[in-house]
């Protein structure tokens, strides 16, 4: 099921990006921030995904996103940021930054989406997530230490602040160079969101 979903998503993305669009309209297809958010990528174009592990739309676009990121221009840097719109979203941010602290994002990011949405794994508290990590070969002591780390706490708090700064209305959303953002609602669909992002990346690359 997962492999079929990935193949179909990649095919649709390739098909959609082959359709040439002359331009997109501000406030219709994307939003321009009144106050740009400082980027962290120097002279590179920052491409930032706002997501939440419990969001079914984020889960659906993940295979497309992974394929799209591999084809981004060399002058771009892709960053994932778990969004935190309320206290209910905090666990998702903690999970991501724990994976990052452990150096396990590349290996386990997609598997965590699958655990939540395909296997309906319940993560009630820290021990549930640590047990899941242990089942996937992560040392329990290291996992528990990551949960308690100052670094993870700081990054979660920063995500709270940045989520407000971007003024997005939901996830998944793509923020381009701290100046623009788009999502499925504005772009006209999940696949179209990537086309609009491509347009904004080209705009910032001029």
- Cis amide bond preceding 63, omega within 30: no
Q: Could you tell me the two tokens for 140?
A: 């329990």
Residue-range definition of the domain harbouring residue 15: 2-205
Whether the link from the prior residue into 24 is cis, omega within 30° of 0, is no
- The answer to whether the CB of 94 falls within 8 A of the CB of 103 is no
∠ CA 112-115-117, rounded to 5°: 105
pLDDT band for 134, please (50, 70, 90 cuts).
very high
What tokens appear for 175 in the block? 């923020």
Domain total in the chain: 1
Taking residues 91-117, report their average pLDDT.
Answer: 98
> What whole-number distance in Å separates Cα of residue 46 and Cα of residue 20?
23
Instruction: Please report, for the domain that includes residue 136, its CATH number.
Output: 3.40.30.10
Q: Are 186 and 28 in contact (CB under 8 A)?
A: yes
Give per-residue pLDDT as tens, 161-188. Answer: 999 999 998 999 999 999 999 999 999 9
């Amino acid at each position: 099921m997962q492999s079929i979903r990935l193949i179909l998503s990649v095919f649709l993305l390739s098909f959609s990006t082959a359709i040439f669009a002359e331009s997109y309209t501000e406030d219709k297809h994307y939003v321009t921030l009144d106050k740009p958010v400082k980027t962290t990528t120097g002279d590179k174009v920052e491409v930032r995904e706002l997501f939440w592990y419990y969001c079914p739309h984020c889960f659906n676009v993940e295979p497309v996103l992974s394929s799209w990121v591999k084809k981004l221009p060399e002058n771009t840097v892709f960053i994932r940021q778990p969004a935190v719109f309320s206290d209910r979203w905090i666990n998702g941010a903690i999970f991501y930054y724990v994976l990052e602290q452990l150096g396990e994002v590349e290996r386990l990011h997609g598997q965590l989406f699958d655990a939540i949405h395909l296997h309906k794994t319940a993560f009630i508290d820290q021990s549930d997530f640590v047990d899941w990590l242990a089942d996937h070969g992560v040392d329990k002591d290291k996992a528990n230490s990551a949960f308690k780390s100052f670094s993870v706490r700081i990054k979660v708090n920063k995500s709270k602040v940045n989520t407000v700064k971007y003024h997005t209305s939901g996830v998944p959303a793509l923020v381009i160079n701290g100046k623009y953002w788009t999502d499925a609602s504005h772009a006209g669909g999940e696949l179209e969101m990537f086309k609009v992002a491509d347009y904004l990346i080209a705009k910032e690359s001029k």
